[in-house]
């Protein structure tokens, strides 16, 4: 449970490349939660940009209005969106995993359709905030209550990063802080949706694991099937996950060299397969960290798992109505 002040009921939404997830937060507790496959990535790949944008708006507004029928007391809606969000204006500048979504105002469009204030923020940043609020509300005797800084890494269709500094979400001057999925870990590597080559998310995301497996075997199969194969001992499937772990570890070692933050939380749908990456991740991280930092960085699976985004988005939206 997390504190929401005087505001009782809020809605949080996690927009993913594959899934759309909505949750209702009542006094800091998730009391209702729906998730469905919206396939926004596919919609963007298969339609002109303006058609894709209107489909995304319609699907999202319809889902919100269905939830509002059950929970009419919701006072604000927070959305975690996978993209670069301009500070202050909330304009979505670009979404590498939703091609064609450029310079759109989801907040203004949706608030007109659902008659509630809508806050839009980067998906990993809202998840980081959700995780941070959960640490704050833990046992006062816990050392984690003193944590003021953390990094959240969301492993999903892409890889997002969120930073909490001095207890506040840090989005950067252009809303581009912590775009760790676009740190280049393989020079001249795979082409990324952002336009560069060799970005970490091309290896460490669900999409990246599927691409690695395809490179190794010639077979294009879903990431869940690759996880099952890896657990059954399939060598190529294991390698695809290990490549994810190596690239993630190199990116995190570099971030820690810049920011010196002790707590890293791993969330997102791919965190369910952390067991397939963990050993190689820790070995690579330990080797890549500045020696004085070895053994001092805590990497943990996030507390809220894939609910962190809806919780953080809902909590941040309370600033619109408090």
Does position 273 bind Zn ion by CB under 5 A? no
Q: Which of 10, 22, 178, 194 binds Zn ion (CB under 5 A)?
A: 194
Q: Identify which of residues 194 and 253 has a Cβ nearer to Zn ion in the complex.
A: 194
Cα-to-chain-centroid distance, residue 195: 20
Q: Roughly how many angstroms between the first and final C-alpha of the chain, as a whole number?
A: 19
| Closest distance of CB 203 from Zn ion, Å | 11
Cα 157 to Cα 48, 51, 82, 181, 234: the distances in Å are 21, 22, 10, 11, 23
| Closest distance of CB 165 from Zn ion, Å | 23
Task: Supply 258's token pair.
Answer: 């810049």
| Closest distance of CB 184 from Zn ion, Å | 8
Q: Identify which of residues 74 and 194 has a Cβ nearer to Zn ion in the complex.
A: 194
Which one of the spans 2-10, 77-85, 197-205, 297-305 is the region binding Zn ion (CB under 5 A)? Answer: 197-205
Q: Identify which of residues 193 and 312 has a Cβ nearer to Zn ion in the complex.
A: 193
CA torsion angle for 34, 37, 41, 42 (degrees, to 10)? Answer: -160
**Contact map string, positions 174 to 193, toward Zn ion, x by CB under 5 A:** --------x---------x-
Q: Token pair 């930092």 is at which residue?
A: 293
- Asked if residues 155 and 270 have their Cβ atoms less than 8 Å apart, the reply is yes
Q: Identify which of residues 8 and 196 has a Cβ nearer to Zn ion in the complex.
A: 196
Rounded to an integer, what distance in angstroms lies between the CA atom of residue 200 and that of residue 192? 9
| Closest distance of CB 202 from Zn ion, Å | 7
Rounded to an integer, what distance in angstroms lies between the CA atom of residue 289 and that of residue 214? 30
Q: Which of 199, 248, 249, 255 binds Zn ion (CB under 5 A)?
A: 199
| Closest distance of CB 290 from Zn ion, Å | 25
| Closest distance of CB 97 from Zn ion, Å | 10
- Asked if residues 321 and 309 have their Cβ atoms less than 8 Å apart, the reply is no
* Binding interface with Zn ion (CB under 5 A): 182, 192, 194, 196, 199
């Amino acid at each position: 449970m997390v504190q929401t002040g005087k505001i009782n009921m809020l809605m949080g939404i996690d927009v993913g490349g594959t899934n759309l997830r909505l949750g209702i937060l009542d006094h800091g507790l998730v009391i209702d939660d729906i998730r469905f496959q919206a396939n926004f990535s596919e919609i963007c790949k298969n339609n002109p940009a303006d058609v894709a944008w209107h489909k995304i708006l319609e699907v999202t507004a319809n889902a919100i209005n269905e939830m509002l029928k059950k929970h009419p007391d919701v006072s604000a809606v927070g959305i975690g969106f996978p993209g670069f969000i301009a500070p202050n204006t909330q304009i979505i500048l670009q979404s590498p995993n939703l091609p064609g979504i450029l310079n759109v105002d989801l907040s203004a469009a949706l608030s007109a359709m659902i008659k509630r204030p809508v806050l839009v923020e980067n998906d990993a940043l809202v998840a980081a905030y959700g995780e941070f609020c959960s640490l704050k509300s833990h046992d006062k005797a816990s050392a984690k209550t003193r944590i003021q800084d953390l990094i959240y890494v969301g492993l999903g269709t892409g890889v997002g990063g969120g930073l909490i500094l001095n207890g506040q979400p840090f989005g950067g001057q252009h809303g581009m802080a912590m775009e760790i999925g676009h740190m280049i870990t393989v020079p001249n590597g795979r082409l990324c949706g952002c336009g560069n080559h060799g970005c970490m998310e091309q290896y460490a995301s669900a999409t990246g694991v599927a691409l690695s497996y395809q490179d190794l075997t010639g077979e294009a199969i879903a990431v869940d099937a690759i996880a099952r194969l890896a657990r059954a001992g399939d060598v190529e499937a294991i390698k695809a996950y290990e490549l994810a772990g190596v690239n993630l570890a190199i990116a995190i070692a570099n971030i820690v060299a810049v920011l010196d933050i002790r707590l890293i939380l791993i969330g997102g749908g791919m965190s369910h397969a952390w067991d397939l990456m963990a050993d190689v991740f820790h070995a690579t991280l330990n080797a890549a960290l500045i020696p004085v930092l070895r053994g001092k960085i805590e990497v943990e699976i996030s507390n809220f798992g894939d609910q962190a985004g809806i919780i953080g988005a809902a909590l941040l939206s309370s600033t619109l109505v408090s």
